[in-house]
Chains A and B, each alone.
Chain A
Amino acid sequence: MIESPALRPEAVEAVPPPEPAIPAGQLFAIRWLVYLSLFALALGGLYGLFQALQRLGMNVYPSLPIAGEYYQGLTIHGVMLALVFTFAFSNGLLSLTTIRGFERPLASTLLAQLAFWSILLGVVLASVPILAGNATVLFTFYPPLQAHPLFYLGLVLAVLSTWLTSLNQLLTLRAWRRDHPGERIPLMAFTSIVTYVMWDIASVGVAIEVVVLLLPWSLGLVPNTDPELARTLFWFTGHPIVYFWLLPAYVSWYTMIPRQVGGRTFSDPLTRLVFLLFLLLSIPVGLHHQFTESAVAPSMKAYQGLLTFGVFFPSIVTAFSVMASLEGAGRARGGEGLLGWIPRLPWSDPSVAAQLLAMLVFMLGGVTGLINSSYTVNLLVHNTAFIPGHFHLTVGTAVALSVIGIAYWLVPYLSGHRLWGRQLALVQAWLWAIGVLLFARGQIAGGLTSMPRRTAMATATYLDLVPSWGFDNVLTGLGGVIMVVSGVLFFLVVLGTLCGWAGRGTTELPAAASEVRPGVWPVVDRLGGWTVATLVLIALSYGPVFLSLLPPSLNSPGFRVW
């Protein structure tokens, strides 16, 4: 159907350049960042199981030896999955893709190692008060809920780890540019670096919130804080963080999956454009998370709501481009007719199957996200169960199931062992997709009838007043349990692979060929200029918001309500 150089069968034969040797110290850091992220996935998922069981009427919390309170478990679930799992995996994978893209090691082995040790220390420090019951503040830690200072310090170290990773990427870019004057930045490295530049700017909000407002307050140096200012700083970071979760999956979908399915990246310039749009538009849209807060003027909300529609655009281009890559590959494999290329894709490769399913589920995630950001429609769903319904389709599946799919080549690649349990892995991918659809169906239906999010629904005193919530909870619980069963299969496969049950073997890092066109849109590679443009957009969008909240109204003492 579609005619493009990327879709001609003969183009598929293009061979990517050879893989560079990676210094042992850098490989160590990457390997353990990935393993740490998988550990966080397991621990966070475990508490997901307890939540799901509670919705099904089985309360296991009293029998837990540690962290046996619902919201304490929910804090573990959120911190481990939304922060540790995602940060550690991004740091590991996008360091590796920087190396692969530039065909040279990272500029600094020390920085790579520091990135690992700082997030590890951060996880340990934050875990102590969480497990001791001194930080049951959920992963959003909205003041005036006040956690133990170690909790905030741990978060600072986790964010620091991402900055160290970014700095290392940028130093590597500088060294590469010195050796390759006038050349285009290789696509895989470009996408990896832009992801982190976006995050560097985005994370300044939460960094100021924690370092300037919350840490001194939790240490008792300042008696009161400003919850609204803190919250606005949080959401300055809190929306773009979803793209920081998502873009590593996009790096895989754009620059790796095409190779895995026997095709090539559809369009090099369009891929760069998509990542640039995410750099520009991810951040100045965070207010749609604060639509129901009276402190912010509706006009500012409307403006940022409009920009949120803009950030929907690169996702649509992605849906097209990634699909076009897949179609080209499916046709090269003999697929014919309108949809005949779909079954020709290598669905028997668990790494591919998991990521294809993640993409399919993400379509629903994108649509529900558009609902959330739609100014007045948001009133129907704001802070209801609809929201976790939405983000388990996005971060919980588009990201998590993609990470799992990536792990199916990455764990063999890092361990030097062959993938064990391919059939199990295939079952795993399908179970996850089925599970999350049931889960989201329950949460979304509940949310549309005002079921609150992040609430121990099984023990809610108003549960009997809304009979329909009983069935919604069953769907949510059942879906959650299926996702956990899927997770158990995943960790069996990881364990079998790490233990070498399928023997030793080398695994390729799938780098898709794409047609780098030196003369096309060279301005896209001017990262400095785009960063300045991003800062200007942010100033226009957030300047009036912060001006209206300054000077801070420090009038809230800390509360420990658990």
Chain B
Amino acid sequence: MQIHVYERITMGLTAVILVLALIAIGGSVFIAGLRLPGPVMHVDPRRLRETPPFDVPGLREVGAGQYQAIMIAQTWSFTPAEIQVPAGATVTFRVATADVTHGFVIQGTDANLTLIPGHVAEATARFPTPGTYLIVCHEYCGIGHQTMFARVIVQ
């Protein structure tokens, strides 16, 4: 069976495009340092609010311009619903859900998490310019889903 010459060209070009895309993705990981969420820790969702660090949700400064935000997602809000950081801050969000599955995406950043009961999730975002960054729940979580959001105020 001879594969038609035009077909071979098409397949070859496809392979080239896919390889170029893979190189670009590799660059985003190894050069730009983008990371996908990975395992952080297990937690019993029924006892989330008594489990450290989620017993004290909120913002902590862990270094110069470095912050950690401990957040709880529940129907239909985030705790805390607002955090304030100075411009240029790098914030590591450690988030978990206390009930159903929720989503966590920060507009204008690479932070994008799905919050599965039982699994703590973590994402890091940098906020170079002052303004308000919207955090939205992007996983359906009941009839109040469209009211579930939080804000990062960058000053």
A452 and B101 within 8 A (CB)? no
B138 and A455 within 8 A (CB)? yes
Given that A4-B4, A320-B7, A559-B100 are known contacts, is A295 also in contact with B36, CB under 8 Å in the complex? Answer: no
Q: What are 6 A-B interface contacts by the 8 Å CB criterion? A: A71-B142, A298-B35, A452-B105, A452-B138, A520-B1, A562-B143
List the 4 closest A-B pairs by CB distance, nearest first: A561-B142, A452-B138, A294-B121, A460-B146
Q: Mark A448-474, 1 if CB is under 8 A from B, else 0.
A: 011011111101111001100000000
Size class of B's contact patch?
A: 35 or more
Q: Which of B44, B110, B117, B144 is the one whose CB lies under 8 Å from A379? A: B110
Complex alpha-carbon distance, A460 and B143, angstroms: 11
Kindly list chain B residues whose C-beta atoms are within 8 Å of the C-beta of A316: 10-11, 14
**B47 nearest in chain A by CB position:** A555
Kindly list chain B residues whose C-beta atoms are within 8 Å of the C-beta of A305: 25
Query: Which residues B94-113 have CB closer than 8 A to chain A?
Result: 99-101, 103, 105-108, 110-113
A452 and B117 within 8 A (CB)? no
A295 and B119 within 8 A (CB)? yes
Kindly list chain A residues whose C-beta atoms are within 8 Å of the C-beta of B107: 449-450, 466
Residues of chain A touching chain B, judged by Cβ–Cβ distance below 8 Å, are: 2, 4, 69-71, 74, 136, 138, 142, 144-145, 226-228, 231, 267, 269-270, 290-298, 301-302, 305-306, 309, 312-313, 316-317, 319-321, 324, 370, 374-380, 382-384, 449-450, 452-457, 459-462, 465-466, 517, 520-521, 553, 555-557, 559, 561-562
Complex alpha-carbon distance, A233 and B139, angstroms: 18
Among A291, A305, A466, A561, the one with the most B-chain Cβ atoms within 10 Å of its Cβ is A561
B100 and A145 within 8 A (CB)? yes
B146 to chain A, nearest CB (A): 4
Kindly list chain A residues whose C-beta atoms are within 8 Å of the C-beta of B122: 294
A555 and B34 within 8 A (CB)? no
Complex alpha-carbon distance, A319 and B14, angstroms: 11
A293 and B119 within 8 A (CB)? yes
Knowing that A384-B138, A561-B100 are A-B contacts, what are 20 other residue pairs whose CB atoms are under 8 Å apart, sorted by A's residue number? A71-B140, A74-B140, A142-B140, A145-B142, A231-B116, A270-B7, A292-B121, A294-B121, A294-B122, A295-B118, A297-B39, A301-B36, A312-B14, A313-B18, A316-B10, A376-B25, A382-B112, A383-B114, A553-B118, A555-B118
**A142 nearest in chain B by CB position:** B101
B100 and A453 within 8 A (CB)? no
Complex alpha-carbon distance, A516 and B96, angstroms: 57
Question: Which one of B52-60, B64-72, B84-92, B129-137 contacts A?
Answer: B129-137
A521 and B1 within 8 A (CB)? yes
Complex alpha-carbon distance, A305 and B112, angstroms: 17
Given that A320-B6, A384-B105 are known contacts, is A294 also in contact with B21, CB under 8 Å in the complex? Answer: no
State the total of A-B contacts with C-beta under 8 angstroms: 201
B79 at the interface (CB under 8 A from A): no
Kindly list chain B residues whose C-beta atoms are within 8 Å of the C-beta of A521: 1
Complex alpha-carbon distance, A517 and B101, angstroms: 53
B29 at the interface (CB under 8 A from A): yes
Kindly list chain A residues whose C-beta atoms are within 8 Å of the C-beta of B22: 306, 309
**A3 nearest in chain B by CB position:** B4
Among A226, A450, A456, the one with the most B-chain Cβ atoms within 10 Å of its Cβ is A450
Kindly list chain A residues whose C-beta atoms are within 8 Å of the C-beta of B139: 142, 383, 452
**A4 nearest in chain B by CB position:** B4
Given that A231-B116, A313-B14, A461-B146 are known contacts, is A379 also in contact with B42, CB under 8 Å in the complex? Answer: no
**B21 nearest in chain A by CB position:** A374
A318 to chain B, nearest CB (A): 11
B126 at the interface (CB under 8 A from A): no
B3 and A270 within 8 A (CB)? yes
B73 at the interface (CB under 8 A from A): no
Complex alpha-carbon distance, A269 and B2, angstroms: 10
Given that A227-B117, A294-B113, A320-B7 are known contacts, is A376 also in contact with B75, CB under 8 Å in the complex? Answer: no
A375 and B134 within 8 A (CB)? no
Complex alpha-carbon distance, A2 and B119, angstroms: 55
Complex alpha-carbon distance, A226 and B39, angstroms: 16
Among B18, B40, B116, B139, the one with the most A-chain Cβ atoms within 10 Å of its Cβ is B116
**A7 nearest in chain B by CB position:** B4
B80 at the interface (CB under 8 A from A): no
Q: Mark B1-28, 1 if CB is under 8 A from A, else 0.
A: 1011011001100100010011001001
